[in-house]
Amino acid sequence: MSSTTLHMNTVAGVEVSGDHWIGGRRVASPERFDDVSPIDEQVIASISRGGPAEAAAAVAAAKAAFPAWAATPPAERARLLHRIADLVEERLEQLAIVETTDNGALLRSHLRGVMPRVAHNFRFFADYLVNDLHHPEFETRGHRNHVSWDPSGVAVLITPWNAPLMLATWKIAPALASGCTVVLKPAEWTPLTASLLADITADAGLPAGVFNVVQGYGEEVGDALTGDPDVSRISFTGSVPTARLIARSAAANLTPCSFELGGKSPMIVFADADMDSAVANAVEQYDNAGQVCLAGVRLLVQDSIRDEFLARFVERASSLRQGDPRDLTTDIGPNVSREHVDRIDGFVQRAIADGARAVIGGGPDVDLGGLFYRPTLFVDAQPGSEILTEEVFGPVLTLQTFSTEEEAVAMANGTEFGLAGVLFTGDPDRAERVGAQLVAGTLWVNCFFVRDLRAPFGGSRHSGVGREGGTWSFDFYCDVKNTCTNQDRWTTGR
């Protein structure tokens, strides 16, 4: 399974292991793969290429560590999670620069919001475990019912590349708080901060085997992990086709799965909306070079304000600065890989061939070269066309118009997805009326991307299965048990 030679990489001045973290130690694979930075397409690290042997070893280590971790008092689990958060905050700048180098997202975003959110994920679920996860008791005909959340076992977490560490810890923190042990499979395009997190968990004192990281390709590692009978939970964020493969693999063992999948979310703007706010939030949908699953990429604008909205959108979007994400004045960085840029451009070129018109953008930024794709806005796309119904996951938006509420709702719900929605209106009654009809796991009214970890998160239709956040996370990672006791049948004690 493993070689004796371990590999360290220096990335943006930070030492990062390129090997797995299994059972509290570094494990190297004889086969390796290159990690390429999207900023300049240069190789920045050599990473162990795991397979079934490494997957099995990680699950075995997690299984062996589970009984003691599950028996660890909640207060002690919470203390360790808080210690992890402390160390994340101490190393925030290192995590931020490594993440930016690895996935191309803005350094200023990592410094100001994303990495602080990583620490918050650990603190929130630690505190929720000890303060908010109540154990209800109620009576039924003289019988006492007591609800408890029992740790389920080994949780396999498969995470994406667009916000690698933040989205990973959104799963890791509640799984560990619940008393599960974890095997993390990060995306092969962005493996580095998962490796740094393993070091942080060790420094925080997390027992060996409680947290494990297996690097590698999904078809080689992921298949082995999701089909392992010793796995009790699988949480995945990614594409619909991959979710189908995971579901088939998990079905053999009836392993419960939580899926957060794609989106093609609408942003509906009524004529009575605050125009300044609506335009600003519409341009915000280009955040992270369009690589945000929740983005309202379909702009649905009431016909009476279409021309004004479009003119103001183009003016504001054209001022966005695209370039090196390490520059704190940059607004849009590169997309994650050559393969992904080619995919984005395929959608754009097919849309143009189908008759859609690019008001801005429409291709790569040839001046910057590499993986930088110009922010693009399409108008005149044909109803039902690919650009209006399939997830691009790049800086590509479309604009359509509607006349009535009924038309807006029909257009908004006119895809197979149902992850999120954004609604701008000055009428609270309309907001309630229209919002009630939209198919979405999360709906923002006159705002965007406001998140609270107490709220349920997930998608409808092909955007996902299940909800996580707050109690919903513990419901998933635990076996929820009700104990019903006949209080009148005690023969000793009370």
- Return the pLDDT at 494: 53
Q: What percent of the chain has pLDDT over 90?
A: 95
- Return the pLDDT at 6: 86
DSSP string, 183-231: EEE--TTS-HHHHHHHHHHHHHTPPTTSEEE--S-IIIIIHHHHT-TTE
Task: Check the CA dihedral 459-465-466-468 and report its sign.
Answer: negative
- Return the pLDDT at 18: 97
pLDDT digits (tens, 9 = 90+) for 439-490: 999 999 999 999 999 999 999 999 999 999 999 999 999 999 999 999 887 7
The pLDDT confidence band at residue 408, using thresholds 50, 70 and 90, is: very high
**Per-residue pLDDT at 230 exceeds 90:** yes
Q: How far is CA 403 from CA 136, 280, 356, 406, 464, in A?
A: 49, 22, 21, 8, 31
Q: What percent of the chain has pLDDT over 70?
A: 99
Q: What are phi and psi of 376, to 5 degrees?
A: -125, 140
What pairing do the DSSP bridges indicate for beta strands 396-402 and 376-379?
A: parallel
Q: What is the pTM of this model?
A: 0.95
Better-scored residue on pLDDT, 406 or 493: 406
Angle subtended at Cα 187 by Cα 462 and Cα 449, rounded to the nearest 5 degrees: 55
Question: What three-state secondary structure class fits 386?
Answer: helix
Token pair, residue 139, equals 């009576």
DSSP string, 14-28: EEEE-SEEETTEEEB
Mean pLDDT of the chain: 96
Burial profile 253-288: b = 16 or more Cβ within 10 angstroms, e = fewer: eebbbbbbbbbbbbbbbbeebeeeebbebbbbbbbb
pLDDT digits (tens, 9 = 90+) for 186-211: 999 999 999 999 999 999 999 999 99
Strand locations in 106-209, DSSP E? Answer: 137-140, 143-151, 154-158, 181-185
Give the closest residue to 154 by CA, choosing from 83, 273, 58, 41.
Answer: 58
The pLDDT confidence band at residue 2, using thresholds 50, 70 and 90, is: low
pLDDT digits (tens, 9 = 90+) for 325-383: 999 999 999 999 999 999 999 999 999 999 999 999 999 998 998 899 999 999 999 99
Q: How far is CA 218 from CA 228, 236, 368, in A?
A: 14, 11, 31
Query: In angstroms, rounded to a whole number, what is the distance separating the alpha carbons of residues 82 and 198?
Result: 15
Residues 392-420, mean pLDDT to the nearest whole number: 97
What pairing do the DSSP bridges indicate for beta strands 298-302 and 154-158?
A: unpaired
Better-scored residue on pLDDT, 148 or 3: 148
Catalytic residue selected from 99, 188, 260, 391: 260
- Return the pLDDT at 489: 74
CB atoms < 10 A from the CB of 154, how many? Answer: 28
pLDDT digits (tens, 9 = 90+) for 259-302: 999 999 999 999 999 999 999 999 999 999 999 999 999 999 99
Query: In angstroms, rounded to a whole number, what is the distance separating the alpha carbons of residues 357 and 290?
Result: 19
**Per-residue pLDDT at 386 exceeds 70:** yes
- Return the pLDDT at 23: 98
Question: What three-state secondary structure class fits 237?
Answer: strand
- Return the pLDDT at 184: 98
- Return the pLDDT at 491: 72
Long-range contacts of 128-136 (CB under 8 A, 24+ apart): 128/177, 128/453, 128/454, 128/470, 128/471, 128/474, 129/74, 129/77, 129/78, 129/177, 129/178, 129/474, 130/74, 130/75, 130/78, 132/470, 132/471, 133/471, 133/474
**Per-residue pLDDT at 174 exceeds 70:** yes
**Per-residue pLDDT at 31 exceeds 90:** yes
Catalytic residue selected from 180, 257, 293, 478: 293
pLDDT digits (tens, 9 = 90+) for 111-159: 999 999 999 999 999 999 999 988 899 999 989 999 999 999 999 999 9
CB atoms < 10 A from the CB of 90, how many? Answer: 13
**Cβ-proximal residues to 428 (8 Å cutoff; 6+ apart), any chain:** none
Token pair, residue 50, equals 């795991």
- Return the pLDDT at 188: 97
Give me the amino acid identity at 257: C
- Return the pLDDT at 353: 97
Query: In angstroms, rounded to a whole number, what is the distance separating the alpha carbons of residues 161 and 405?
Result: 37
Q: CA torsion 160→163→165→170, rounded to 10°? A: -80
**Per-residue pLDDT at 493 exceeds 70:** no
Strand locations in 288-395, DSSP E? Answer: 298-302, 357-360, 376-379
- Return the pLDDT at 3: 56
Query: In angstroms, rounded to a whole number, what is the distance separating the alpha carbons of residues 381 and 400?
Result: 8
- Return the pLDDT at 370: 87
Q: Which domains does the chain have, with CATH numbers?
A: 8-261+463-482 (3.40.605.10), 266-445 (3.40.309.10)
Residues 58-73, mean pLDDT to the nearest whole number: 98
Active site residue 293: yes
Query: In angstroms, rounded to a whole number, what is the distance separating the alpha carbons of residues 473 and 464?
Result: 15
